[in-house]
């Protein structure tokens, strides 16, 4: 039996155990690195707030509409007890189309967070039923998808990616590459355009509502009032963020089936 088959078998046994216990249970959550299970009563209260306030942008089931999919959102996945969702709801990201809900109470925010975690939970359990099939998509179709959507950025760097990740981790790696905790510490590159039109590229040191500072390519330190310059922070994962909203379940299965062949 090769490694992939053994892994699938392991998952199948694992899934059977979980199902035999009659619950989608904490075991699965630990396995997938998720936090405490959501509280169904709070989630139901949360849904009543979510529907009128959020669903027209994020979809009735939080799968995304005009606003992003929240079920696959790294921020939601990494949230614990509304520590990330809470500030986001209260402050919004008005410059990016996410309004602030400044008057929501802590318990309302917490209920909405529980609702979103419940959506993730349901998506995970839906995956659980299919877990035995995790790598039986169509590898050829996956390769075609890869050539059409991924190759521009990954010409050859993923040639042995299947030796680096087990299938489940590989799925997470291509769905949201930067979601691993601790990867945020990487330095942020930015381009600053001065009022004269001159552009400087370097490593961002600090940015807030008032000031921005960077060290340029020659190692020289600069700082400006925030409103005097234009700041552009290229996001290397923008491609992935856009793709996340586009994959169908079939695309994901096909892609994974292709990626596991890259050894």
Q: CA 197 to CA 218: how far, in whole Å?
A: 19
Closest CB to ligand HEC: residue number: 239
Query: Which residues contact ligand HEC (rule: CB under 6 A)?
Result: 53-54, 57-58, 67-68, 70, 73-76, 85, 88-89, 93, 96-99, 101, 112, 146, 149-150, 152-154, 158, 161, 164, 173-174, 177, 236-237, 239-240, 243, 255
Least Cβ distance, residue 15 to ligand HEC (angstroms)? 24
Least Cβ distance, residue 100 to ligand HEC (angstroms)? 10
Least Cβ distance, residue 192 to ligand HEC (angstroms)? 21
Pick the closer one to ligand HEC by CB: 6 or 164.
164
Pick the closer one to ligand HEC by CB: 18 or 259.
259
Least Cβ distance, residue 218 to ligand HEC (angstroms)? 26
Pick the closer one to ligand HEC by CB: 18 or 70.
70
State how beta strands 211-216 and 230-232 pair. unpaired
Scanning the structure block, which residue is given the tokens 């500072």?
A: 213
Q: CA 106 to CA 182: how far, in whole Å?
A: 28
> Which secondary-structure segment (H or E) carries 216?
strand 211-216
Based on the number of CB atoms within 10 Å of its own CB, is 137 exposed (0-12), middle (13-18) or buried (19 or more)? buried
Residues 6+ apart with CB under 8 A from 242: none
Least Cβ distance, residue 98 to ligand HEC (angstroms)? 3
Per the DSSP assignment, residues forming a β-bridge with 230 are 193
Pick the closer one to ligand HEC by CB: 90 or 204.
90
Least Cβ distance, residue 17 to ligand HEC (angstroms)? 28
Answer whether 262's CB lies under 8 Å from 154's CB. no
Q: How many angstroms from the chain centroid is the CA of residue 122?
A: 16
Q: How many angstroms from the chain centroid is the CA of residue 152?
A: 21
Task: Report DSSP state, residue 96.
Answer: G
3-class state of residue 19 by DSSP: helix
Q: CA 261 to CA 162: how far, in whole Å?
A: 7
Answer whether 199's CB lies under 8 Å from 192's CB. yes
Pick the closer one to ligand HEC by CB: 82 or 214.
82
Least Cβ distance, residue 56 to ligand HEC (angstroms)? 6
Pick the closer one to ligand HEC by CB: 18 or 142.
142
Pick the closer one to ligand HEC by CB: 18 or 71.
71
């Amino acid at each position: 039996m090769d490694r992939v088959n053994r892994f699938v078998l392991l998952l199948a046994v694992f899934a059977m155990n979980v199902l035999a216990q009659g619950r989608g249970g904490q075991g699965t959550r630990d396995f997938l690195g998720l936090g405490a299970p959501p509280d169904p009563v709070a989630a139901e209260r949360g849904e009543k707030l979510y529907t009128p306030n959020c669903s027209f942008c994020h979809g009735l089931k939080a799968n995304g509409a005009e606003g992003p999919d929240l079920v696959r959102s790294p921020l939601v996945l990494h949230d614990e007890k509304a520590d990330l969702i809470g500030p986001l709801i209260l402050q919004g990201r008005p410059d990016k189309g996410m309004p602030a809900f400044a008057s929501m109470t802590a318990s309302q925010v917490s209920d909405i967070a529980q609702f979103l975690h419940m959506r993730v939970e349901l998506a995970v359990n839906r995956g659980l039923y299919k877990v035995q099939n995790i790598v039986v998509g169509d590898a050829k179709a996956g390769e075609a998808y890869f050539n059409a959507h991924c190759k521009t950025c990954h010409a050859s760097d993923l040639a042995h990616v299947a030796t680096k990740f087990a299938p489940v981790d590989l799925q997470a790696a291509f769905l949201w590459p930067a979601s691993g905790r601790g990867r945020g510490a990487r330095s942020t590159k930015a381009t600053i355009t001065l009022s004269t039109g001159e552009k400087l590229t370097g490593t961002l040191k600090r940015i807030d509502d008032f000031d921005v500072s960077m060290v340029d390519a020659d190692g020289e330190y600069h700082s400006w009032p925030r409103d005097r310059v234009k700041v552009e922070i290229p996001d290397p994962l923008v491609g992935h963020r856009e793709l996340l909203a586009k994959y169908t379940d079939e695309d994901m299965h096909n892609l994974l089936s292709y990626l596991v062949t890259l050894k």
